[in-house]
Structure 1
């Protein structure tokens, strides 16, 4: 089955599809990809063999010429995590009124010409609520107008054996008929149950808690300076109150801005004694914030951030080896789709004969 990956980033959809291929579930072949971020493209190209595939580059420029769309190879499945900042509660929620919000319509430009049988799109959970539900209603209306049956649902990364809280809308659409009870059967609980039953025999990476992937000894550059630790641990300010804890067994949602080091209420930080003791020592429970600030505390490495999204650590290392800076790698991890979540959804759809050759 052929596949086109839009807004590819570091290839979360592609990684899931490659694993489904390797596991003998269903063979997939990527025919092309789009990505405007040059650093993300470097990481992507350092981890996948893209020879013979269409490098679409900037999707806006690509779709501006109808001949480019016509010239794409035919494909069965289109995937894409279209830009989400414009719908996120962390952003200004400008939605379709902002350039990034318009990216969904570039997907429509391609779909109306190529009309693949299957579509799987990803976005933030807030997409459902944005503009009192009007944004999502417009998305469904556009897809249905092209003849697709549309099935959205919210999935959380932590339910698929990656220790990260990350709820995302996945929109599955197909031009084919589905069983009458499909809506009732296609639920996060059912997708999770099937994945739970088989994941240990599959090619996905899995971890119970962050302690399973945190390295005991890392370079000194990942440790917080004495100056930064009080800021990271602070419980907010007069205008913004928060509860900043370190040593989270289930990581907070990775963000594209994690490299900016906000606070431990938003990002993920760990004390060295917690890591080395494999959680047996956790002074979050008995130290004041001032005492915690005396500990050696570090942020995630790029490799660990990639692992929290279900990628092998060497994906980050390969990016570093072609000159991608750590700041860019953190951004790429925060923007990525979680491999296990995508795998689990596609695995469910294939095993239930919704997606088929």
Structure 2
């Protein structure tokens, strides 16, 4: 099965597809990828064996040149994490001057020219409610207008697939064939649990993720703790907690160290002695050792392995960029679970 990966980031979908190839014998072969962030590309290049596949880079510029699109070659499956802004413009004509509209137009060009059998795209869950559901309707109509007979979506949470992180994402699944399948989270979870042999990293909770020792630079100073641990401010109220067994959703801006109602922080008591300070009075924690996640731990929470991290570091990708990349990434295990369900368990390509 030949595929392209759009808006690839550090290749969450690609890593999932490669593991499925290794584990099941279903040959998933990447022929092209697109990404514009130079640091993400650096991490991508350091971790995947790029066997001559086309580097699309800026998909808007690429799709604007018909010769390039024609040279792309045929592929069966389009994978990607879609920029949600583009979909708010679906009710208007394609080819808008707006950057987001031009991104959508480029997808339109690829679908029209290459006519892939399947499309699997990931996005934030809020897109389901955006504009009172009108955006969702326009997304579904967009793919139907390109001849997809089956157009559906499912909400999947990373914590159900062996990674202790709350990360709910919506996945759109489109097929040129009419399919009669159960695309539900429960069915995908049940299939995932029945997989006897796989190469994924599976963790019971964050204690399986957190390293016993971390450099002092990751620890919070007593001064910054007053901000990090605060339950909001005058105009913003929240409940800050540390030492959560299942991590909060990683964000691309975690390097900025948001409050403990948004980011993940852990005490030495929790890491070393399994004593949680989740509900401990903040004043006590002002002097207790508390730290943020390391970049390696953030990548682990997304399903990437030590070799992946070491390859990126060896390529001189900064920790700042690794935090951003981990926060933007598709969880490998979640991508694997969905692709396995569709193409290994249901074998929709053979229906």
Q: TM-score, normalised by structure 1?
A: 0.92
In 1, the alpha carbon distance for the partners of 2:346 and 2:134 equals 31
CA contact (8 A) 1:303 1:315 kept: no
Offset, 1:276: 0.8
Aligned residue for 2:171, secondary structure, equals strand
Aligned residue for 2:179, secondary structure, equals coil
**Cα deviation 1:255-312 (Å, max 9, x = unaligned):** 11111101110010101121011x2x12333x31011121111111111111111111
CA contact (8 A) 2:153 2:183 kept: no
Tell me how large the CA RMSD over aligned residues is. 1.7
**Cα deviation 1:6-48 (Å, max 9, x = unaligned):** 0000000000100000002411111010000000000000000
Partner in structure 1 of residue 168 of structure 2:
167
Any stretches of 5+ residues in structure 1 without a counterpart?
88-93
| Structure 2 counterparts to residues 87-236 of structure 1, below 5 A | 95-96=88-89, 99-100=99-100, 103-148=103-148, 149-179=150-180, 182=181, 185-198=182-195, 201-236=197-232
Aligned residue for 1:57, secondary structure, equals coil
Aligned residue for 1:123, secondary structure, equals strand
| Structure 2 counterparts to residues 1-357 of structure 1, below 5 A | 1-84=1-84, 86=85, 95-96=88-89, 99-100=99-100, 103-148=103-148, 149-179=150-180, 182=181, 185-198=182-195, 201-277=197-273, 279=274, 281-285=275-279, 287-350=280-343, 351-356=345-350
CA contact (8 A) 1:82 1:104 kept: no
Q: TM-score, normalised by structure 2?
A: 0.93
CA contact (8 A) 1:25 1:347 kept: no
Answer with 216-225 or 11-20: which moved more: 216-225
CA contact (8 A) 2:244 2:278 kept: no
In 2, the alpha carbon distance for the partners of 1:32 and 1:211 equals 37
**Cα deviation 1:134-160 (Å, max 9, x = unaligned):** 112111111111111211111111111
In 2, the alpha carbon distance for the partners of 1:249 and 1:192 equals 20
Offset, 1:251: 0.5
Offset, 1:95: 3.9
In 2, the alpha carbon distance for the partners of 1:311 and 1:242 equals 31
Aligned residue for 2:123, secondary structure, equals strand
CA contact (8 A) 1:245 1:284 kept: yes
Aligned residue for 1:151, secondary structure, equals strand
In 2, the alpha carbon distance for the partners of 1:65 and 1:128 equals 33
Aligned residue for 2:4, secondary structure, equals strand
Offset, 1:226: 2.2
Offset, 1:102: 5.2
Structure 2 CA distance for partners of 1:305 and 1:349, relative to 1, 3 Å: same
**Cα deviation 1:50-76 (Å, max 9, x = unaligned):** 131101111111112122111102111
CA contact (8 A) 1:303 1:314 kept: no
